Amino acid sequence: MNTDTNTNYELLTKQLESLLSGERNLLTNLSQFVALVYNNLPELNWAGFYIKGAEEQLKLGPFQGQVACTTIAIGNGVCGTSANNKESVLVDDVDQFKGHIACDSRSRSELVCPVVLDGDLWGVFDLDSPQLARFDQHDQCGVEELIKVLIRSTDWNV
């Protein structure tokens, strides 16, 4: 783990709980979630959601960073693998991940965590970094906890 990028996820979780308190709107909460994460985790060049759409595809949702791929097939790339398995995927070097989809050629490492509601995949939350091995188990567990806060703080029926 790089201590320069070590994040206090307990504090970030409390900030998210406060930020989402009293607001249950899906789009508002997704947008606030992304902004909070993007601006508080060091060494990111992209953070955002891909939402499960029709035909086993993920569609681009709220994000921060450079423009991104708009559609990813479930099962393809890091996001599609996470969605397919409903499990987080941590990649130290995206060039070593077979089938990696390069939306931004500056991205070197990636962490993707699924958003699962009552056992059903809703989408994934994707973090990219220009730094190799930027993410570790500490980040994975921290982001998974943030997603739990988002899930319980949001009305998912639109």
pLDDT digits (tens, 9 = 90+) for 33-90: 999 999 999 999 999 999 999 889 999 999 999 999 999 999 999 999 999 999 999 9
For 121-151, b where at least 16 C-beta lie within 10 A, e where not — what string? bbbbbbbbbebeebbbeebbebbebbbebbe
User: What CATH number should be reported for the domain holding residue 144?
Assistant: 3.30.450.40
pLDDT digits (tens, 9 = 90+) for 87-142: 999 999 999 998 888 777 889 999 999 999 999 999 999 999 999 999 999 999 99
Tally of structural domains, the chain: 1
Structural domain contains residue 158: no
Range of the domain at 69: 3-153
Q: 3-class SS at 46?
A: strand
